[in-house]
């Protein structure tokens, strides 16, 4: 009798195995690594489903904090409540919530490039994982070209701060911030530039960011920020479609009626402090001289560049 039950058990197991989905080996792609222990932390399977791996190392606590905070933001986005408004007499305004079928997530429309002004990538990662600093960026690029993604592209990072570009004053809400490991007085490495170009190409294609909307922190906040500075290769970026650059051959002389302040505003600069705007412009488009005076050559560059916007 025991043998009969045993064979029945084997038969049942074989039937269940035949009915269950087959296990397909996952072809995983490592998209990030734990710098402390050089082990993969996130992989993507063939069905593009994220596989979560528990992270160990110096950033385990901040990763957990990030997850909890994003969960709270998702919960906030799921709220479906009517507008709670009261008129001057204290009466509630009739309102209701009716969900539409036509909506999507907001996307970034600018890219702001920074230098870290710190001495190592480890120092910057620490700075961006301390709540006391209240500063962050979507991406940080190390000197060896490694890219650290720190804030989801659809979330708001604290990277731009106070400033103005055109009519935009809250740049954090509509931009992606990229920090490059550089102390502000050294050339950017070839590996950093190579990774940056690939990242910018991904951003431009993914979010349809206009060519004119790749700018520096100095452009948005000329009164208080110098980065990414005159050593940054803006000309190379422009050659790849990220921002503009003056023509190699400047043949058009600005007319007598040319107003530099108006030209700077057309590009996007805040000219409430004209000298600061001039310095920011020269850091970006001249780079050999960053004084607040415009030379005849500077005026030709400004005239040429302003016509591209």
Which of 222, 244, 266 corresponds to the end of one domain?
244
Mind telling me the catalytic residues? 179
Give the separation between CA 27 and CA 47, rounded to whole angstroms.
10
Q: Could you tell me if 130 and 201 lie in one domain?
A: yes
Number of domains forming the structure of the chain: 3
- Residues 238-248: tens digit of each pLDDT: 999 999 999 99
Q: Could you tell me if 271 and 284 lie in one domain?
A: yes
Q: Could you tell me if 223 and 255 lie in one domain?
A: no
Q: Could you tell me if 214 and 254 lie in one domain?
A: no
Is residue 84 in some structural domain? no
Is residue 14 in some structural domain? no
Q: Give, for all 309 residues of the chain, the pLDDT tens digit.
A: 444 444 444 444 343 333 333 333 434 444 444 433 333 334 334 454 444 445 567 888 899 999 999 999 999 989 999 998 999 999 999 999 999 999 999 999 999 999 999 999 999 999 999 999 999 999 999 999 999 999 999 999 999 999 999 999 999 999 999 999 999 999 999 999 999 999 999 999 999 999 999 999 999 999 999 999 999 999 999 999 999 999 999 999 999 999 999 999 999 999 999 999 999 999 999 999 999 999 999 999 999 999 999
Q: Could you tell me if 111 and 188 lie in one domain?
A: yes
Q: Could you tell me if 110 and 191 lie in one domain?
A: yes
Is residue 210 in some structural domain? yes
Q: Could you tell me if 174 and 134 lie in one domain?
A: yes
Q: Could you tell me if 128 and 219 lie in one domain?
A: yes
Q: Could you tell me if 200 and 278 lie in one domain?
A: no
Is residue 81 in some structural domain? no
pTM exceeding 0.85:
no
Is residue 66 in some structural domain? no
**Phi and psi at residue 287, to the nearest 5°:** 75, -25
Q: What residue numbers bound the domain in which 195 lies?
A: 105-244
Which of 211, 244, 277 corresponds to the end of one domain?
244
3-state secondary structure the chain: CHHHHHHHHHHHHHHHHHHCCCCCCCCCEEEEEECCCCEEEEEECCCCCEEECCCCCCCHHHHHHHHHHHHHHHHHHCCCCCCCCECCCCCECCCCCCCCCCCCCCCCCEEEEEECCCCCHHHHHHHCCCCCCCCCCCEEECCCCCEEECCCCCCCCCCCCCCCECCECCHHHCEEEEEECCCCCCCCCHHHHHHHHHHHHHHHHHHCCCHHHEEEHHHHCCCCCCCCCCCCCHHHHHHCCCCCCCCCCCCCCCCCCCCHHHHHHHHCCCCCCHHHHHHHHHHHHCCCCCCCCCCHHHHHHHHHHHCCC
Domain at 192, CATH number: 3.40.80.10
């Amino acid at each position: 009798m025991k043998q009969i039950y045993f064979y029945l058990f084997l038969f049942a197991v074989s039937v269940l195995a035949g009915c269950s989905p087959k296990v397909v080996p996952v072809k995983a792609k490592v998209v990030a690594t734990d710098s402390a222990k050089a082990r993969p932390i996130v992989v993507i399977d063939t069905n593009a489903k994220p596989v979560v791996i528990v992270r160990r190392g110096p950033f385990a606590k901040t990763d957990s904090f990030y997850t909890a905070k994003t969960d709270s933001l998702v919960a906030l986005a799921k709220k479906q409540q009517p507008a709670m408004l009261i008129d001057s007499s204290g009466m509630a305004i009739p309102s209701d919530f009716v969900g539409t079928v036509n909506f999507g997530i907001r996307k970034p429309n600018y890219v702001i490039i920074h230098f870290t002004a710190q001495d190592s990538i480890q120092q910057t990662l620490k700075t961006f994982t301390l709540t006391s600093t209240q500063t962050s960026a979507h991406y940080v690029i190390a000197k060896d070209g490694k890219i650290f993604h720190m804030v989801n592209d659809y979330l708001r990072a604290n990277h731009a701060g106070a400033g103005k570009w055109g009519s935009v004053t809250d740049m954090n809400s509509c931009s992606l911030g990229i920090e490059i490991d550089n102390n502000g007085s050294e050339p950017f490495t070839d590996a950093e530039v190579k990774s940056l170009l690939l990242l910018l190409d991904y951003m431009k294609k993914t979010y349809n960011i206009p060519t004119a909307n790749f700018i520096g922190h100095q452009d948005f906040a000329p009164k208080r920020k110098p980065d990414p500075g005159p050593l940054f290769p803006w000309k190379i970026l422009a050659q790849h479609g990220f921002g503009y650059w003056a023509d190699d051959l400047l043949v058009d002389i600005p007319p007598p009626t040319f107003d530099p302040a108006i030209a700077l505003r057309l590009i996007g600069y805040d000219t409430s402090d004209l000298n600061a705007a001039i310095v920011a412009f020269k850091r970006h488009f001249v780079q050999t001289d960053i004084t607040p005076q415009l030379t005849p050559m500077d005026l030709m560059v400004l005239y040429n560049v302003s016509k591209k916007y």
